[in-house]
Amino acid sequence: MERGAPSPSYNHRRAEEVFRDYRGRRAGLVKALTTESESFYQLCDPEKENLCLYGLPEETWQVTVPAEEVPPEIPEPVLGINFARDGMDESDWLALVAVHSDSWLLAVAFYFAARFGFDKSERKRLFQMINGLPTIFEVVTAPPKKQPRERISSSASSGRNKLNSKNPESDLKPSEMYYESGEDGGQQEGNDEEEEDEHSDTLCGACGYNYGNDEFWICCDVCERWFHGKCVKITPARAEHIKHYKCPSCTNNKRIKS
């Protein structure tokens, strides 16, 4: 891809289409700042010239120099993110880049809104869809959540697997996973709605999307963040054989330090 991360031709005419572009770019940026943060860190060498972080509609990301044409095809991300890399704590630096990335995503979305002549109601619909997702900053800085909960006995007479829990924030070992087994105890069924509301703000450490009570999750034993199984390519069957799970980011950190 050429410098400046030019985008493919656009035919966005409705808020849903602009939101789809926003969501794809956001997913790429979340990856850069979470599960692929070490790769992103290495690319942001302070010895290089001004660099920008672009999120691409295909849910990927790119670190490159700004576009040469003036004005650029789309609004530019913040310049010089690499210069601050070694001058501050890495987590603070990632959070700062996340803030600027959030601002850039909104700029791009409403650039398209203006370009395609959205009226007040269409702009409002676009903002409502965008506002339904957590910001990148919220995903990057979200602390691990651990809430006490009675462990599920492995010898339960109901025969449910001890990994079956409606709550990914339970005090089960981080390597114990959540998934929907299809078997509902009476008390559990009565608490489904309450627990879903309680944990609806739990975010996947890879894609940044919210907790869903019908999805398979796994928690990293190191950073204690939760991930959709599909985001880290872990299936329930494979998870049964994992004693201590490390997410891609923590695995990469160990390799670099060694």
Residue type, 185: G
Q: Does the pTM of the predicted model rise above 0.85?
A: no
Alpha helices in the chain (DSSP H): 15-33, 37-43, 90-115, 120-131, 136-141, 186-198, 236-239, 248-257
The one-character DSSP state at 79 is S
Q: Which domain holds residue 115?
A: 15-141
Domain termination site, one of 93, 125, 141: 141
Domain termination site, one of 89, 112, 141: 141
Q: Answer whether residue 36 is part of any domain.
A: yes
Quick one: 34 and 113 in the same domain? yes
Over the chain (258 residues), the average pLDDT of each successive run of 10 is 46 83 96 94 94 96 91 92 93 96 97 94 95 94 58 31 40 40 44 52 75 77 83 83 82 59
Q: Give me the phi and psi of 227, to 5 degrees please.
A: -135, 145
Quick one: 21 and 121 in the same domain? yes
Tell me what pLDDT residue 56 has: 97
CATH (domain of 241) = 3.30.40.10
Domain termination site, one of 124, 141, 158: 141
Tell me what pLDDT residue 172 has: 42
Tell me what pLDDT residue 8 has: 45
Quick one: 216 and 136 in the same domain? no
Q: What share of the chain is helix, strand, coil (3-state, %, to 5)?
A: 40, 5, 50
Tell me what pLDDT residue 192 has: 53
The one-character DSSP state at 172 is S
